[in-house]
Structure 1
Amino acid sequence: MRSLATPLLAAAALIWAAPAMAAPAPPAQRIELTKMAGRWYEVARLPNKTQKDCQGGTSDWVRSGEGYSVVQACHKGALSNPATEWKAKAKVIDPKTNARIKMSFFGGMLSQEYWVLDHKSDWLILGTPNGNYMWLMSQRPTLSPGAKAQAVARVKQLGYDVSRLEFPQPARN
């Protein structure tokens, strides 16, 4: 099983606002909950302070009670550096679509809603409702050139400035 990951590589990134785009439309596509467990890899993201210089981002989701335990990790500067990890609890807050998720960090002291804006068999686009943060995630460390082009085109269609996307080094398997 794979995860509906979020390299939300830390809620602290939400404290520092990035230039906003128009807020995306709420998700309408239904996500199967069985696809939320497992590992997802970060392919691209909008810049954010917490993930500055992050390489090899991953997000591991494990079913826990009525939600998920999530461990997000990246290597600051280079893949050879030790991983930095952030832990969170996640809960689906829209059972109609399962595409709206609330993540709590630091024992619930900080929380943020995330939306799965689109997903295909091998990638998903995750963003915040205000449009400030966006991640392209994959079930593999890298996407084929065709799948990557399709995903980036969809990011643009959703209203994000794709010229601002960062493409970190992929995680090692």
Structure 2
Amino acid sequence: MRAVWAVWTGVVVCALALWSALALPAQAAPASAVASAAVSVHPVDAVDMARLQGKWYEIARYPNFFERRCARSVTDDLKLLPNGQLHIINLCKKSDGSSDSTSGLARPAGATPNVARFEASFAPPWLNWVPWLWNDFWVVALDSDYHYVAIANPSRDHLWILSRTAKLDADSYHQVVAQLRAQNFDIDKLVLTPQP
């Protein structure tokens, strides 16, 4: 029985490793990315987790595997849990008009809850014990009124601009883009998200 359990555990771990590799494929860095690495990605100084709660509308994003079915109306609803983690519900409309949703957790990567470095996992809850299913996501731009936020990973492979409203005014959009450009994010890769 123990031998069967060991084999089954090995199969599950191998399958998870393959799933993780497919979900977040490694990409060879082009010369422009190597040059941009000279300017480090910096998270904002602090984030008030309670103020981060609530509904956010996706304004723009880098194309990514896990939102490949999302055509429009992408939102993230964040709820602060008693353990200090954020429960995330991502909703969107597919091209056929049907809805798609995923849920996950984000937890502060630092010792204090006001740190702007998070680890997030969208794996099934029973797999949250697997360390490599948690990925780094940092708050790299944040409006003082929490009207907009930009979230990215430190390698600049993923980037989202979110707003409290379905439309972000031009001045605010230019402000967040300027902050991202200063950290050498490739603004040309951003794809605007249609919102209703």
TM-score for both structures, normalised by structure 2: 0.72
Partner residue, 1:140:
165
Bigger Cα Rg: 2
1:85-96 matches, within 5 Å, as 85-94=101-110, 95=112
Contiguous gaps of at least 5 residues in structure 1? 1-10
Q: Secondary structure of the equivalent of 2:65?
A: coil
Letter matched to residue 25 of structure 1: V
Structure 2 unaligned residues grouped into runs of 5+? 1-19
Matched, 1:16 2:40: no
Judging by fraction of residues, say which structure has more helix: 2
Q: Distance in 2 between matches of 1:13 and 1:72?
A: 20
2:6 matched residue in structure 1: none
Question: Contact between 2:61 and 2:191, CA under 8 Å: does it hold in 1?
Answer: yes
Provide the C-alpha distance between the structure 2 equivalents of 1:13 and 1:144, rounded to a whole number of angstroms.
36
Q: For residues 184 and 23 of structure 2, what CA distance do their matches in structure 1 show?
A: 20
Partner of 2:117: 100
Q: Deviating runs (4+, > 4 A) in structure 1?
A: 11-14
Distance 1:58 1:140 in 2: 10
Q: Do the aligned partners of residues 157 and 13 (structure 1) sit closer, same or farther apart at CA in structure 2, a change above 3 Å counting?
A: farther
2:68 match: 52
Aligned equivalents of 1:130, 1:85: Cα separation in 2: 26
User: After superposition, what is the alpha-carbon deviation per residue over 1:51-91, rounded to whole angstroms, capped at 9, x for unaligned?
Assistant: 2352111111112221121111211226xx12211111121
Q: Distance in 1 between matches of 2:160 and 2:25?
A: 16
Q: Where in structure 2 are the equivalents of 1:1-173 lying within 5 Å? A: 14-17=23-26, 21=33, 22=36, 24-52=40-68, 54=70, 55-66=72-83, 67-77=85-95, 81-94=97-110, 95=112, 97-106=114-123, 107=125, 108=128, 110-120=133-143, 121=145, 122-170=147-195, 172=196
Q: Specify the code of the residue in structure 2 equivalent to 1:101.
A: F
Question: Tell me, what secondary structure is at the counterpart of 2:58?
Answer: strand
Aligned length: 159
**Residues 101, 13 of structure 1: CA spacing in aligned structure 2 closer, same or farther, 3 A cutoff?**
farther
| Structure with greater strand percent | 1
Percent of aligned pairs with the same amino acid: 22
Cα deviation code 1:9-65 (max 9, x no counterpart): xx8885124575445433242111221210111111111122235211111111222
Q: CA RMSD in A?
A: 2.3
Q: Which amino acid aligns with 1:70?
A: I
Match of 1:5 in 2: none
> Secondary structure of the residue that 2:166 maps to in structure 1?
coil
